[in-house]
Structure 1
Amino acid sequence: MSQTAPEDLRNADPKRRIIFYSHDTFGLGHLRRSRALAAALTEGDDHASAIILTGSPVAGRFTFPKGVDHIRLPGVTKLADGSYVSQTLGLDIDEITALRAGLIKTAIEKYEPDLLIVDKEPSGFRGELLPSLEWLRDHGNTKTVLGLRDVLDEPEVLAAEWARKGAVAATEAFYDEIWVYGMHDVYDPTKGLPLSDAARDRMHWTGYLRRETTDEVDLPQHPYVLITPGGGGDGAAMVSLVLEAYEKDPDLSPNAVLIYGPFLSGDVRDAFDARVEKLNGRVTAVGFDSRIEALFVGAEGVVCMGGYNTFCEVLSFDKRAVIVPRTVPRLEQWIRASRAEELGLVRMLDETRDGMTADAMIAAIRNLPHQNKPSEAGADGLLDGLDVVIKRGRALMDGTA
């Protein structure tokens, strides 16, 4: 009896295997985006499965759809001076990067994906993805995609950052396609980058990634404004301003439901809880809810920061929103919020124009019912991202792209 070689078994296997790389040194954005993409590419396809490689310290708090799993890479923490250290292992940054790089390469070699989708960082955190990209170039038939959110940073700053990281060279050398999860007429995240015409010919504008809710959550029985700083790590100033607005104006309505996010904790969270307690139920607060989509659905309006995932939720659930964008360490959120305001999709609370005062926040919340919904400015036409991703992803895996 003849025996079938292992590689023949793999070639006969009809399953479509996808790996997502999401460096996630901090925050929730990359992980949540990869999770939404993995769900879309595997849903309804019994032959598809996906693994998300992530450094997010809160990956274990999320549920993952059928056919999707994750591998948690050892975490790193960014210090005040901009340097990184191992989150828990006591290794220096070169040691922890080498460990992560080895784990990534082993996962790719053993899983043998048909498709690798890399989120935002062409060469990975501190170049940790390069050994895997070089291996894939020399072995197998894995298709590679670089996925970019709609805005990365202001062009001059981004060009300098990508030059320092060798990101342009990595993009040119290793990626079959570049997907931009946005619309060209809203913003071009590659503006200012010296990409070749050949690389730009490989770009596909997907549109924004529509979000849906399938989880049942007990929602407040009264009207409410949802307050969300996303992951929360940089949201203390916005949360404090909202609380100050409710403290200053006893008639401000509707009530607020505040989701701190998993990274807003410790003494800062304790101080906010004490202020919430004194508001006698006009503001209620919880730490983190991975099913936040359901809270969006029930909200009268939203006050939020300007991260990509939150913006997609505002558009998807057609919510009147006031966006309070951060401006450091990068202008990504401000650029997104200002363009969205120009298009009539949201209202932005701008530090220079409006002032970050309780009165400005009171006025913004009071004006929410009078804002247009995003759909009235044509938001539905922006939300085809997942459909395009499914089409492009399956074409690449099936060899029909």
Structure 2
Amino acid sequence: MDESSEAIHNTGIAGLTGRGAAMPAAVFDNEHIGGLVEHPLPPQPVGERARVLIYSHDTFGLGHLRRSRAIANALAAGSTGVSVVIISGSPVIGNFEFGSGVDHVRVPGVVKLRNGDYRSLNLNIGIEETTHLRAAIIAQTAQSFRPDLVIIDKEPTGFRGEILPALNILKRNGARLVLGIRDVMDEPAALKPEWERKGGLEALSTFYDEIWVYGLEQVYEPLSCLPLSDEVKQRILYTGYLRRGLPREASITSYPRITRGPFVLVTTGGGGDGEDLIDWTISAYESPACPDIPALIVFGPFINRDQRRGFMTRIAKHPKLAAISFDSKLELLMNRASAVVAMGGYNTFCEVLSLDKPTLIVPRTTPRLEQYIRAAEAERLGLIRMLVQGSGSAETMAHAIRDLMQQKRPSEVVVPGLLDGLDVIGRRFNAWLAERPEPAVTHQAAE
């Protein structure tokens, strides 16, 4: 790792905010951060109410992007004159539709290797240089767009510390900074050292005005294992889960024939780590205990192509199985399904609750226990049923799929505030707008 790259990755919060150690030139020198020359911007247009910037690092899967998109669309639709920009590294962000007032900036993608390291997704440059390029784009976007509200998804310092330069710019410009985290981050034994290593605790106290937890305190407290000060604890707001609606039009013109009647939808989200669930499901239908109800498997855009080819060969031989590669408007397909089998990421969990589907969750347990913890808590409440990978045979899965037809729907379990997330966020956003001095912030370059 070269000296400038090491500065972004390893420099403490004190050094990056000018407290204590000197600010590293590799992070703040104009030459390295894209030459952040401040040019006067045009006056704020009549009718503009606020600008929102959402950062979603998206090194893997679709979860961060879909969560950010749901929040962005809700904020833009809930208040006239709101513009939202999502910064994302997802290679498939262009496949999704955004509401009026929402747009995105794509930074170069990265991918996590099996050994835990990262590499550039498409560029033939090292991960250190890729991180520098992403940091420069993020910082320049923060400087040029001049948002009033900033929501950072999950990572308080970003991927390898890439948003620290931008956070300093945003704080200096008076933006309100919010860290938004899902209901479950990871098991305490893994989360605490990870946040300490990345400077997450320092970032919370230094930068963030609020912490939004997209879940309920009575379900799980994701930050309870961290030594937070009382002041930081006061900034935490539990919103409830993010309710999902239905898109107006399907992205796929023709669904497989089995969707014309009752069927089970099998989804692995992005698909990058869903091979085991797909294999177990196919094996269930190949077994003597084959379920009566057909199943439609959605591979996801990140599944290994060779694996997908092998699965398609097996699926083509079975009359009760069908598959599609990817559907950016999966909610419509899920709404048609009789039940759902899924891995249990945050967004899928929100969707099955919103669409009220009997659901079997088969959570991954590596490299994080996030999905397992969420599924265990949801099963405790009676919202879903859980089956752990490797805990049974093909017949075990077949019986679990068959039992879905008699399983309770989530709506039959009363959990107050369960799906109030977007409403709570909208009310908090509007209250904050009302508290601001009038007129609204004029987006001019700082002196």
* TM-score over 0.5 (shorter chain): yes
- Structure 1 segment 203-282 matched on structure 2, within 5 A: 203-217=236-250, 220-249=259-288, 251-280=290-319, 282=320
The aligned counterpart of 2:199 is: 166
Aligned mate of 1:306, from 320, 324, 344: 344
Provide the identity percentage: 50
Letter in 2 for 1:221: R
Letter in 2 for 1:387: D
Aligned mate of 1:45, from 72, 76, 79: 79
Counterpart-to-counterpart distance in 1, 2:137 and 2:271: 29
The aligned counterpart of 2:169 is: 135
Letter in 2 for 1:358: A
Asked whether the 8 Å contact 2:277–2:389 carries over to 1, the reply is no
Are residues 251 and 170 of structure 1, via their aligned partners in 2, closer, same or farther at CA, if it must alter by over 3 Å? closer
What is the CA-CA distance between 1:64 and the residue it aligns to? Answer: 1.3
For 1:151-185, what per-residue CA distance to the aligned partner results, in whole angstroms no more than 9, with x for missing partners? 00011210000000001100111011000000000
Aligned mate of 1:387, from 412, 423, 429: 423
For 1:327-359, what per-residue CA distance to the aligned partner results, in whole angstroms no more than 9, with x for missing partners? 00010000000000000000000247xx14211
The aligned counterpart of 1:83 is: 117
The aligned counterpart of 2:94 is: 60
Give the secondary structure class of the aligned counterpart of 2:100: coil
Asked whether the 8 Å contact 2:283–2:394 carries over to 1, the reply is yes
Letter in 2 for 1:304: A
Counterpart-to-counterpart distance in 2, 1:227 and 1:7: 49
Are residues 288 and 22 of structure 1, via their aligned partners in 2, closer, same or farther at CA, if it must alter by over 3 Å? same
**What root-mean-square deviation, in Å, do the aligned CA atoms of Structure 1 and Structure 2 show?**
1.8
The aligned counterpart of 1:185 is: 218
What is the CA-CA distance between 1:13 and the residue it aligns to? Answer: 6.5
Asked whether the 8 Å contact 2:240–2:419 carries over to 1, the reply is yes
Counterpart-to-counterpart distance in 1, 2:41 and 2:47: 10
Are residues 398 and 356 of structure 1, via their aligned partners in 2, closer, same or farther at CA, if it must alter by over 3 Å? farther
What is the CA-CA distance between 1:214 and the residue it aligns to? Answer: 2.4
Are residues 328 and 361 of structure 1, via their aligned partners in 2, closer, same or farther at CA, if it must alter by over 3 Å? same
Give the secondary structure class of the aligned counterpart of 2:260: coil
What is the CA-CA distance between 1:394 and the residue it aligns to? Answer: 2.5
Asked whether the 8 Å contact 2:265–2:341 carries over to 1, the reply is yes
Worse-matched range after superposition: 329-338 or 85-94: 85-94
Counterpart-to-counterpart distance in 2, 1:343 and 1:104: 40
The aligned counterpart of 1:27 is: 61
Letter in 2 for 1:157: A
Asked whether the 8 Å contact 1:345–1:379 carries over to 2, the reply is no
Letter in 1 for 2:132: A
Are residues 67 and 8 of structure 1, via their aligned partners in 2, closer, same or farther at CA, if it must alter by over 3 Å? closer
Gaps of 5+ in 2: 1-38, 438-447
The aligned counterpart of 1:290 is: 328
For 1:254-288, what per-residue CA distance to the aligned partner results, in whole angstroms no more than 9, with x for missing partners? 111111100113110000000010003x1110000
Counterpart-to-counterpart distance in 2, 1:351 and 1:48: 44
What is the CA-CA distance between 1:249 and the residue it aligns to? Answer: 3.5
Counterpart-to-counterpart distance in 2, 1:196 and 1:380: 28
Asked whether the 8 Å contact 1:321–1:368 carries over to 2, the reply is yes
Worse-matched range after superposition: 215-224 or 265-274: 215-224
Counterpart-to-counterpart distance in 2, 1:196 and 1:14: 37
Counterpart-to-counterpart distance in 2, 1:380 and 1:320: 19
